[in-house]
Amino acid sequence: MKVRLLTLVALLALVGGVIGSGPIAASAQGTPEESDFDVKDLAGVQEGVSRTYAGDLSAFFSSAAEAASTPGAEPGTPDVSALGLFSLNGAILRFDNKDNAKDAFGTFSDKVVESASTEGGFELKDEDTDGFSDNTKAYSAAVEEEGISSTVFVIITQEDEFIYLTTGISFSPEAGEVKDSTVNFTKALVDGKAGDGEGELKEDGTSTGGLWDKFPAADDEVLQGLKPVADQQVYPQK
């Protein structure tokens, strides 16, 4: 049984396409596309990092495959709605001062919307959120692939010298659930305190120090059981 999770591909394309340095070379369809946007062109940008938290789908799909192979079983797409929240991704850009972060917010948020369409393959719908600065935009998208429905929720907000981009994906039919999860996750990032120095990058999601200390710990309730699975130094690239 092969199930292609377009939403996960879209998430990675969205985050990587917007804040990854250099030309964009990924799309949901696998066709390389280039963009003239480069995060280094944002005045005053100093550093950018990204972390993905995700649930474990292996046990679910193993069980579904076993059920599908049972004699007399009806063929079809497994019901993933009970899985609920599947992933949260947070990206943080740090600028040399809050004025440069504020000036970059418009360009950056516009690029998120563009990238969702060109690299992610879906359109974002404007949403309202409370509890953030005036420089905040939020979006949602309903995605369906091979009978699997999911909801993507995106928040971009600027606070002091930081710009945050967060994305949540849920298989739950209740769109409000992924919104609440993404809002709470974003607030945790904004409230988190950066450590001293540049930090130590570990690509398995266990980086520490610097901006990495702003991310919730693996056992934080805001993650709802999701675990860190990947870290990326998006600027400057190492």
Q: Which range among 8-22, 73-87, 106-120 shows the weakest confidence by mean pLDDT?
A: 8-22
Q: Which range among 71-85, 86-100, 120-134, 207-221 shows the weakest confidence by mean pLDDT?
A: 71-85
Taking all residues of the chain, what is their mean pLDDT, rounded to a whole number?
Answer: 80
Cα separation, 161 vs 81, in Å, equals 38
Residues with Cβ within 8 Å of 104's Cβ and at least 6 positions away in sequence, in order, are: 42, 43, 44, 45, 93, 95, 158, 163
Residue 31: Cβ-neighbour burial (10 angstroms; 0-12, 13-18, 19+): exposed
* Cα 141 from chain centroid (whole Å): 13
pLDDT of residue 143: 79
pLDDT of residue 29: 35
Q: Mean pLDDT over residues 68-85, rounded? A: 59
Phi/psi of residue 6, each to 5°?
-60, -35
| 105: pLDDT strictly greater than 90 | yes
| 28: pLDDT strictly greater than 90 | no
The Cα-based distances of 171 to 7, 125, 144 in angstroms read: 10, 18, 10
| 227: pLDDT strictly greater than 80 | yes
Handedness of CA 174, 175, 178, 183 (dihedral sign): negative
- Residue with the bigger pLDDT between 147 and 75: it is 147
Cα separation, 238 vs 193, in Å, equals 23
pLDDT of residue 123: 80
User: Which one of 52-56, 78-82, 113-117 scores highest in mean pLDDT?
Assistant: 52-56
The pLDDT tens digits of the residues spanning 180-206 come to 999 999 999 999 999 988 899 999 999
| 226: pLDDT strictly greater than 60 | yes
pLDDT of residue 74: 54
The pLDDT tens digits of the residues spanning 49-64 come to 999 998 876 655 555 5
| 238: pLDDT strictly greater than 80 | no
Residues with Cβ within 8 Å of 29's Cβ and at least 6 positions away in sequence, in order, are: 121
Q: What is the percent of the chain where pLDDT is above 70?
A: 71
User: Which one of 3-12, 25-34, 226-235 scores highest in mean pLDDT?
Assistant: 226-235
Structural contact between residues 84 and 140, judged by C-beta atoms closer than 8 angstroms: no
pLDDT of residue 75: 52
Cα separation, 45 vs 103, in Å, equals 11
